[in-house]
Amino acid sequence: MKNNTINKKEIEKFSKIAEEWWDPNGKFKPLHKFNPIRISYLKENIIKTFKLDHKKIPLKNVKVLDIGCGGGLLSEPICRLGAKVTAIDASKKNIEVAKLHAKKNNLRIDYICTSPEKLKVKNQFDVILNMEIVEHVEDVKFFLKSCSKLLKKNGIMFVATLNKTLKSYIFAIVGAEYILRWLPIGTHEWEKFLKPESLISIQKENNLLVEKVDGMKFNILTDQWSVSKDRSVNYIAKFIKN
């Protein structure tokens, strides 16, 4: 029985470039471009599921856990929308960067250096975000099982990752890392990519039922991301806990 989801090699890789999290033109430039569509997608889906109507503070008091939060690129905007955010990452350096940035911006986010299987909480979360993290963990099944234990009944878990297709290999690895140099070489390992049907069947074992799976597509001409029916490279799945 495994009791650890931390992949040391992956942690070291991201710790080395942790200082660059908030540089929109640095190593995380692709994530900065990706962020607006991720935020609006999460906001709309959370509001719809929980039937919220907080006009000025849309996610008021929604308890969110951001797993593999890095420097807080998603934690901060979700916090600004009114959510009570706890954010975890296995890299101490990432958490230090995230804490410092949140403090500068007067944002109350509970940052903890840990992994989901080690996180101890009194109350479960309404929403769990697993955004671009499952392709970097040691054991996906154990990781998702640990995450599901932290989610309330009828809570939402979002999982955004890369599909395991020839197209994703060409676009996400050959294109993004080697040709366009958007990402440092070695950011992704194709073996760790996950087909939506594999993800859905793992989640079913954890009493998480899929509500929808959407593709996320980058348009090189407009330099923007959008939600798409094409799930062959990037996709985001929304699960509800049964």
Closest to 126 (Cα-Cα) out of 220, 49, 234: 49
Q: What is the DSSP letter of 25?
A: T
pLDDT, greater one: 176 or 111: 111
Residue 98 CB-density burial (10 A; 0-12 exposed, 13-18 middle, 19+ buried): buried
What would you report as the CA-atom Rg of the chain, rounded to the nearest whole angstrom?
A: 17
Beta bridge partners of 210: 239
Delineate the domains of the chain, giving CATH numbers in brackets. 8-241 (3.40.50.150)
What DSSP string describes 209-240?
EEEEEEEEEEETTTTEEEEES--SSEEEEEEE
Tokens of 4: 């650890």
Q: What is the DSSP letter of 83?
A: -
pLDDT at res. 191? 87
- Average pLDDT score over residue span 95-99: 98
pLDDT of residue 83 exceeding 80, the answer is: yes
pLDDT at res. 2? 61
Distance CA 158, CA 72 (A): 17
CB 163 within 8 A of CB 231: yes
% of the chain exceeding 70 in pLDDT: 99
pLDDT at res. 180? 75
pLDDT of residue 242 exceeding 60, the answer is: yes
Residue 33 CB-density burial (10 A; 0-12 exposed, 13-18 middle, 19+ buried): middle
pLDDT at res. 184? 80
Render pLDDT for 176-230 as a digit per residue (tens, 0 to 9).
Answer: 877 778 778 888 888 899 999 999 999 999 999 999 999 999 998 999 999 999 9
pLDDT of residue 131 exceeding 80, the answer is: yes
Render pLDDT for 12-29 as a digit per residue (tens, 0 to 9).
Answer: 988 888 899 999 999 899
Size of the chain in residues: 242
